[in-house]
Chain A
Amino acid sequence: MSVRTPLGRVEGLGAAHRGTEHFISQRVTAVALAPLTLWFVFSAFMLIGGDRAEAIHFLAAPVNAVLMALFIIAALMHMALGLQMVIEDYVESEGGKVVLLVLNKFFAWVVGAASIYALLKIALSRSPA
């Protein structure tokens, strides 16, 4: 016998009132990251041993610049969602939890802004050959 109210059962949200969106976003970014990660790793290894000019040449190519931007955005979204779960699971004090959850978001945005700015500077300041 269930003690849940009919309304609670229909809404199906549970005690946290949210979570489905988090769950789905985590999976959608994961699916996007599978091919993007493969592309990133193999590209990065092809650039080992090269100089800055070679890295610029690679990152300034439109397809690479767009894929790199997508990789950064998807990875940081996935990261923020994952670290959020870790913080919610392990931090006991309510205050510490709130502070870390905010810092988690800030971290993703700062790393993202700096990376995308650098990428745009590389990709846009050099017209493709």
Chain B
Amino acid sequence: MPEQAKGGRERPLSPHLQIYRWPVTMATSITHRATGMALAAGTLLVAWWLIATATGTDAYDTFSTVARSPLGLLILFGFVWSLAFHLLNGIRHLVWDSGYGFEVKTAERSGILVYALSLVLALALFAYAFAARGVSL
């Protein structure tokens, strides 16, 4: 909450997030956090898969049925894309950490590349699941 200045006049505030034009670098930064949080939820899916495998055939089949349902596939696509994005953008961060790729043009290009590659990777994996692994809607 903004503090009232002496005399009751509102102090000027800097504009909030929605005022700014979204540069690619800002979008990738926010997406990196968002996918990171989504992947935290995704650890529950991996845990469920392992526990179901350890438990028995019924538990495994339940997991399988839910995972192959339309909603399950949508969630898994979100999981896989998040993983692909976070991995590729994480590599971009490691490159920055070693001191390269900071030029505005370069950072914007690598950002667009990360969006494109992560989407291609996720789509290719799901195309493979549908074409060769018997997944269907």
Contacts and interface: CB of A to CB of B under 8 A. Distances in A.
Interface of A: 27, 30-31, 33-34, 37-38, 41, 45, 48-49, 51-52, 55-56, 59, 68, 72, 75-76, 79, 82-83, 86, 107, 111, 114-115, 117-119, 121-122
A90 B51 CA distance: 33
Contacts of A51: 57, 60
Name the 9 nearest CB pairs between A and B, nearest first: A52-B60, A118-B54, A118-B50, A48-B133, A49-B133, A121-B54, A49-B134, A118-B51, A115-B47
A75 B43 contact: yes
Given A52-B53, A118-B50, A30 B128 contact: no
Nearest to A90: B33
Contacts of A33: 87, 90
Interface string B37-55: 1011001101101111111
Given A30-B94, A31-B94, A86 B46 contact: no
Contact of A122 (B46, B47, B54, B97): B54
Contacts of A27: 94, 97
A55 B60 contact: yes
B129 interface: yes
Interface secondary structure of B, over-half rule? helix
A81 to B, nearest CB: 10
10 contacts: A31-B94, A38-B87, A41-B84, A48-B129, A51-B57, A82-B36, A111-B43, A114-B47, A114-B50, A122-B53
B125 interface: yes
Contact of B90 (A30, A38, A115, A118): A30
